Amino acid sequence: MQNEIALFNELCDQLFKAESNQPVAQLIPTTEIYNQLDLSLNADGIIDEELKNTLAQIIKSTPKTASKSFFNQLFGGRNGKATLGDLLAVMLNNSMYTYKVAGPQVGIEKQILKNICALAGYSETSDGTLAPGGSMSNMMALIMARDAKNVSIRTHGLTSKMTLYTSSESHYSISKNAALIGIGRNHVRAVNTNKKGEMLADHLNKLIENDISKGFQPFFVNATAGTTVLGAFDDIEAISKVCKKHNLWLHVDGAYCGSVIFSDTYKHLVKGLKLSDSFSVNAHKMLGTPLSCSIIVTQHRAQLHHSFSNEADYLYQTDGDEFNLGKTSLQCGRRNDALKLWTLWKSIGTKGLEKIVDKQFEMAQIARDYIKNHKDYTLYSFEDSISVCFNYKAISASKLCTALYENSELMVGFGKFNNQEFVRMVTINNLLEKEDILTFFETLESFVAKNISKITTS
């Protein structure tokens, strides 16, 4: 193993150099990938020197998500302390299902959950788990809501036409999960939003009442804290009133921006969070931990256990359920996603996490100000969002973003709202400073000046 650690350090040095020398890796077209890199797997292995060279080649051409030219979707940068925690988790290689196998790592995960429940304003009966990503966290919320509505579903399967509600701007995992858990995509109702992309509680109520009158059984509402395109925050208090009226489970999908709970300045964006039944947040998005680190908490500890526990005497042989986390998780064998967040949190404190969150809003504000002050730009996003949506000189956003990527200039994506397409620059990368934001616009402008005919005709 010592050799591999030495090699790891050597390869990391090369990665760091590549990140600053060529922050956007040269694109290898998909048709060329197997010609340009030796990705083949053969009967015979290769000598270490050759392996090293092959790995170095692969690293060189892999997209650099930690570079300061990465503004693509919803994660980026690299946090040293969080990365250290994740590297240790790999070395320790525990499975998080039992205390016997994971020991203090279980305590670490439980500590994170406890603190997040407290920050969410959740009661003493709350608990949670770490899921393999925000989509799976949302699925766990859906399953708990489904089982809470009808206790016999776990044994008998679905017997009624259950409906759920989420805004037209919410993440696609809600309808995908509806298909996966037997609810059916046709039973997902898309609630309208206002012009800022926030769910309309009145329309939600109307859809629910309409379904009830037709014999459907509404059971779940998803509110989003940071919609995937615009970064909008649904009004949790208003939505909660509708949920209470009809006795529906309210989940808050904070995968993107739920980390505002760490900020005194921005936690008002999730006002009323304590009224929800479950809440999920991705630390691998705003907090900048390595992928993946998704947390789901619920006020209903018993429901979490009821929906996800399964007896298995070959697995659970010591300690109580409280420390055998397999009894409340989606998987059996489970990666240790807790240690990276704990290492980060322990080292910089909750106040340090607050700074990470605040900084991203500050960077987004700098970007919005730049756009407002330069007449060649049109701005489409709003205050209190780290998604900065704009168009430049009426150039097609999709063509511009693709050209920037193919020419190794910038990694940035595009999005759509109300049939308007725009560039979506995301200031989620923790390493960004004001000059990096300005460099982004400079790079974009000089690229367009030199390549305008190419972009508009391609």
Ligand X SMILES: *Cc1c(COP(=O)(O)O)cnc(C)c1O
User: For the sheet containing 420-426, what is the strand order?
Assistant: 70-71, 411-417, 420-426, 387-392, 377-379
In the complex, least distance from residue 74 CB atom to ligand X, rounded to whole angstroms: 5
| 3-state DSSP helix/strand/coil % of the chain, to nearest 5 | 50, 15, 35
Which of 230, 410 has the CB closer to ligand X?
Answer: 230
Q: Which is nearer to ligand X, 357 or 448 (CB)?
A: 357
C-alpha–C-alpha distance, residues 364 and 424, integer Å: 11
Q: In the complex, what is the shortest distance from the CB of residue 105 to ligand X, in angstroms, rounded to a whole number?
A: 21
Q: Which is nearer to ligand X, 83 or 347 (CB)?
A: 83
Cβ closest to ligand X, residue 240 vs residue 387 = 387
What is the nearest approach in angstroms of ligand X to the Cβ of residue 20? Answer: 28
Nearer to ligand X, 139 or 448 (CB): 139
Could you tell me the smallest distance in angstroms from the CB atom of residue 104 to ligand X? 26
User: What's the rounded Cα separation, in Å, for the pair 92 and 390?
Assistant: 45
DSSP string, 39-106: ----SS---HHHHHHHHHHHHHHS--TTSTTEE-SS-----HHHHHHHHHHHHH---TT-HHHHTHHH
> Residue 424 Cβ, how far from ligand X at the closest point, in Å?
12
Enumerate binding residues for ligand X (CB under 6 A).
74, 133-135, 138, 171, 173, 224, 226, 228, 253, 255-256, 282, 292, 294
89/255 with CB nearer ligand X:
255
User: What span, in angstroms and rounded, lies between the C-alpha atoms of 2 and 330?
Assistant: 35
Residue 286 Cβ vs ligand X, minimum distance, rounded to whole Å: 10
Residue 177 and residue 138 in contact, taking contact as beta carbons nearer than 8 Å:
yes
Rounded least distance, CB 2 to ligand X, Å? 35
CB of 74 or CB of 403, closer to ligand X: 74
Nearer to ligand X among residue 180 and residue 212 (C-beta): 180
- Short-list 296, 283, 278, 258, CA closest to 136: 296
Residues 6+ apart with CB under 8 A from 216: 161, 162, 163, 187
Residue 237 has which token pair?
């208090």
DSSP state of 384: S
Of residues 98 and 177, the one with the C-beta less far from ligand X = 177
- Helices and strands in the chain: count of H runs, count of E runs: 15, 12
Q: Residue 72 Cβ, how far from ligand X at the closest point, in Å?
A: 12
- Residue with smallest beta-carbon separation from ligand X: 134
CB of 353 to ligand X, least distance (A): 18
Cis peptide before 276 (omega within 30 of 0): no
